[in-house]
Structure formats: C-alpha cells, structure tokens
Homo-oligomer: A and B are copies of this chain.
Amino acid sequence: MSKTNPGHFFEDFQLGQELVHATPRTVTEGDGALYTALYGSRFAVSSSAEFARALGFRGAPLDDFLVFHVVFGKTVPDISLNAVANLGYARGRFGVPVYAGDTIRTTSRVIGLKETSSGKTGVVYVNSVGTNQLGEVVCDYVRWVMVHKRDPQTPAPDPVVPDLPERVGPEDLYVPEDLRLAGYDLELAGSPHLWEDYAPGERIDHVDGMTLEEAEHMMATRLWQNTAKVHFNQFEQAGGRFGRRLVYGGHVISLARALSFNGLGNAFRVAAINAGAHANPSFAGDTVHAWSEVLEAAPVPGRDDVGALRLRTVATKDRPCATFPHKDTDGRFLPEVVLDLDYWVLMPRHAALG
C-alpha cells in the first residue's frame, strides 16, 4: 500500500465528519519578518510592539491574514489536494490575536456535500477552525471546493448545502476586551482618517502596484505549509492549462491588504471574511493593483472607540485601479480582476482619540 497521501476524493467525505489536520505550527517573529518582506505591510499594530501594547495587546500580533494562511494551509492535504476549484468562502471570523510563540492547529467539519451535474465531481463544504495552544479560536471560516470523485459511478449522496450568511453580522465580530484605543497614535499610524470618515459607497484607489515573482509566491505558500501542487511544479504545469505555476490566491489577498494601507491605514484589524472570489488566476510577472469600496459602516456594540467597516477589496493584474475595474455589463469579472474580497475591518473612532 502506498504510504503517500493521495488526498481525499468526493466519496471520502461524509456529512458531519471531523478532520484533525496535521502539522501544528508554532508561528514566530521569523514568520512576521517574512510577512513584511513578502508584502511590505505597514499597519502599525503588527509592525510595532510598542504601538500594539499602547492599545492593550500583549505585543505586536501577527498579521491577520498570516494567521488565515497558516490555518488554511493545514487543510489543503485533507480537503483540496484533489480540488478542481476553490469556489468560495463565507462566515470567516478572526478570534483572539496570535502572537509569536503561539502554536496553531486546524480541524475541519464537513457541513455540506453536493454532487455536480457531471457526476464526476462534487462540492464539499467545510467549516475549518484554527485554534491556539490554549484551544482559543484564532480563525473560523467556511469554504467550499469542487473535488474529483474517485469513481464517477459512485452514487451521489443526498445533497446538503449549508445555509450561509451573506456576511458576518457586526454584532458577531470579535473585539478583544482589553483593547483600548485611547492610546492610538494617528501620526505613527500614518493616516488621519478614522471610522466616521468613511461612508458606504466610497471607493478608494490604493494607487500602488506590486509585481509578483515566482520565488516570492512559492516562499510564501511553503511558509504556510500549503501543499497545493499547482504553485510549485513548473515541470508539470508546463503541460497544463496555463503552462505556468499558479500563484496561491491567498498571496494576492495579502498583497491587496498591504496595498490597501494607502487609503485605509487605520484599518488595524481584519475582523471577518464575508466572501471571496479568486476571479482569475495570477502568475509571476503580473503587477497587482487594488481598490476598495466601503460596503457598510457599523458601530461595534458596546464600544464607542472602535467601529467596523465592511469593505470590498478588488485586486487586478496589469491594470491600475483609478477607474475601479470590476465586472462587465453581464456581471462577469473582468479578465484583469484577480480577487474580490468582502470583509470587515476594525478602525478607531474619533471618540477614542478625545
């Protein structure tokens, strides 16, 4: 019997099944430095332990998407090694901050199964939960992937599609109790614009562009111990659909988030992922730009120092975003659009700063 991991096929998943994913990971200051080197992130909370401590954090928390990528990476060998496509995300919530030295692990539960009409594949819905060494949730999300069947003849299971919210409610966003924004220094943060200064409908071109390199996306993806083959093996990809290695979609998410600093500099914390689409593939050599739209501005229950903004951030390849490129008249993503991410961020309110 082969000792290598063949991945799971559609038939291998059962409703309610619990998967304990391998390779717990102690994240370190080394991961933090690499994150800065790969994306150039400038949000002060993750950049400066002093800045973070002034707000009640224990130290500089690691970037929220770094946490997401680590939690996500563990699921790949069990969930998406035989995936045809990563179809969507929903109900993603970030939990307690993650600090250097914490150890992250992930478990997933199968919450939906639906064979596709072709009979050759099926869609698997999983709820993946990342926890730290104390068992506290650091990130919790649903994703669904299309997975090959081992055998097209296997009868289809009863279709179960979970009922997923369009977005996480603002009342469900996790805000650390110890967080006190009176200590937030706008000059050091690098932007004067606070929660009240953003209004639904507002669109922001993040201006800057960043070109992708093979060495960078591969180093990033390995750092998250994500084993999806399409990112690493040029010998095999040369004969594939694109002839190239595909960039991990999460790499583009982190890049877009880092670019969004220019216009959203006080969005110090990503609180939730409502939905996300990797609209088109990205490749080394592509230059990524991004723009954002404010979808909602919601107060955070019980707090007057911090508010939540629901954002759509769109990333493009080889196309600047001054005209906010998104979809065509038929509602299809433009070919230059590589990411459409719907998420909540936290931002200080004027009240906090006296």
Contacts and interface: CB of A to CB of B under 8 A. Distances in A.
Interface of A: 2-5, 20, 22-26, 28-34, 36-40, 42, 44, 47-51, 60, 77, 100-101, 103, 105, 133, 187-191, 193, 197, 204-211, 213-216, 218-223, 225, 227, 229, 232-236, 245, 262-265, 285, 287, 318, 320
A13 to B, nearest CB: 17
Which of A206, A213, A229 is most buried by chain B, counting CB atoms within 10 A of its CB? A213
A193 to B, nearest CB: 5
Contacts of A220: 37
Contacts of A193: 3
Closest 3 CB pairs of A and B: A30-B33, A22-B190, A40-B222
A29 B320 CA distance: 36
A23 B48 contact: yes
A206 B4 contact: yes
Contact of A209 (B31, B60, B235): B235
Contacts of A229: 208-209
Contact of A215 (B60, B209, B216): B216
Nearest to A49: B26
A292 to B, nearest CB: 10
Contact of A213 (B22, B36, B48, B218): B218
B26 A48 contact: yes
B211 A232 contact: yes
A133 B232 contact: no
Contacts of A42: 22-23, 225, 227
